[in-house]
């Protein structure tokens, strides 16, 4: 596996505990449901209105009306539930979800996440979504993002320069590099040589080692 996004998603799945209710946000987090460890039972939530959904279906089995927060097809095993957006976001605000895994545009050393807006061609994009509700109402927030953007700029900053989604809310940041370097960064495997650095790294950070038996950091 060399796709950084999938490596990060697999690593996020190791942070989940049996019986948790877990929200998966847009981007990398939506892949986490495909990498749940064998024997782990969690209730997955998507902000657009589903609890208890399953992994991505086979292409011929996909239903375009049943999707996750990224608009990708999902499965609905027995016991899964669909509800309107008001109920779904109400659950996020009122403590019914124990962990959320969110994508990010930037994170900083103070545990602040920015993921709802970036400036493109003089306009702010994409706009406010459910991430603010999740940062407010969910006790454990994990950010899953690649270490650098497509221009080679670090997403890990001393202080975020983008409009924040939640201040001091991050429980853990799970980062990755493109291609072969990403697994070493996520899982703390030894580097045969020093890894390439982004054009800027405004704040230092420590690479966590993967604990024995695939437990949490």
- What total of structural domains would you count in the chain? 1
81-110 pLDDT per residue, tens: 999 999 999 999 999 999 999 998 888 888
The answer to whether 47 is a known catalytic residue is yes
Where does the chain show beta strands of DSSP type E? 21-24, 43-46, 50-51, 81-82, 99-103, 106-108, 113-114, 117-120, 123-126, 140-146, 156-157, 170-176
CATH of the domain at 149: 3.40.1080.10
Of 47, 110, 181, 183, catalytic = 47
More confident residue, 11 or 124: 11
168-215 pLDDT per residue, tens: 777 666 655 432 333 333 443 333 333 445 555 556 655 555 444 445
pTM score, whole prediction:
0.81
Q: Which domain holds residue 122?
A: 4-214
């Amino acid at each position: 596996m060399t796709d950084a996004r999938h490596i990060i998603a697999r690593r996020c799945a190791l942070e989940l505990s049996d019986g948790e209710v877990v929200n998966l946000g847009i981007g990398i987090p939506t892949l986490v449901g495909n990498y749940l460890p064998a024997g782990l039972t969690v209730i997955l939530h998507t902000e657009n209105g589903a609890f208890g959904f399953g992994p991505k279906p086979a292409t011929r089995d996909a239903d375009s009306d049943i999707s996750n927060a990224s608009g990708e097809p999902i499965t609905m095993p027995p016991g899964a539930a669909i509800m309107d957006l008001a109920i779904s976001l109400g659950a996020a605000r009122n403590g019914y979800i124990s962990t959320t895994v969110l994508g990010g545009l930037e994170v900083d050393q103070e545990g602040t996440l920015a993921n709802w807006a970036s400036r493109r061609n003089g306009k702010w994009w994409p706009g406010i979504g459910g991430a603010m509700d999740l940062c407010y109402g969910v006790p454990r927030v994990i950010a899953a993002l690649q270490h650098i953007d497509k221009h080679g700029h670090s997403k890990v900053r001393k202080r975020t320069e983008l409009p924040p989604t939640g201040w001091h809310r991050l429980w853990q940041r799970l980062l990755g590099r493109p291609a072969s370097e990403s697994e070493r960064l996520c899982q703390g495997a030894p580097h045969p040589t020093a890894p390439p650095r982004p054009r800027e790294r405004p704040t230092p950070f420590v690479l966590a080692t993967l604990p024995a038996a695939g437990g949490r950091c």
